[in-house]
A = this chain, B = another copy of it.
Amino acid sequence: MEAPNYSVLPIIDLEYNPSPAGDRLLLNSPCEVCGDHSSGKHYGNYACDGCAAFFKRSIRLDRHYVCKRGNPGACPIDKVLQNQCRACRLRKCFEVGMKQEAVHPSLSIADVDQLLALKWLPSLTDIVLP
């Protein structure tokens, strides 16, 4: 899941090496949320960078999602479908035991901006205000 470096002209970078810093990833500890490769434990459980960042953002911004499909329990969450339903992705983060207490608050300007903007999000997204 390591992405190529787009800042390098791809047509020239034919010698693209799929594991530049890929030794960061663990072979036998997949993400407990989506099954992708993890780079270790995050907030209590093995998680990929994506799920870890997603969990952090959700907690920081106090986001509550609603499953658009109305799935009571869970839309399937795997490395293919992972971004399809944020509500169920976050629920699964909690289900596998990721701990929100492990996410420390932050007071960066960017976060404040996002919190402010949050109040003006269109009402049709999957985000519900606290």
Contact = CB atoms under 8 A, between A and B. Distances in A.
Q: Secondary structure of the A side of the interface? A: loop
A126 to B, nearest CB: 8
Contact of A116 (B1, B9, B69, B81): B9
Contact of A6 (B4, B80, B117): B117
A79 B116 contact: no
- Interface size range of chain A in the complex: 20 to 34
Contacts of A117: 6, 10
B10 A116 contact: yes
Interface of A: 1, 3-4, 6, 9-11, 16, 68-69, 79-81, 84-85, 116-117, 119-120, 122, 124
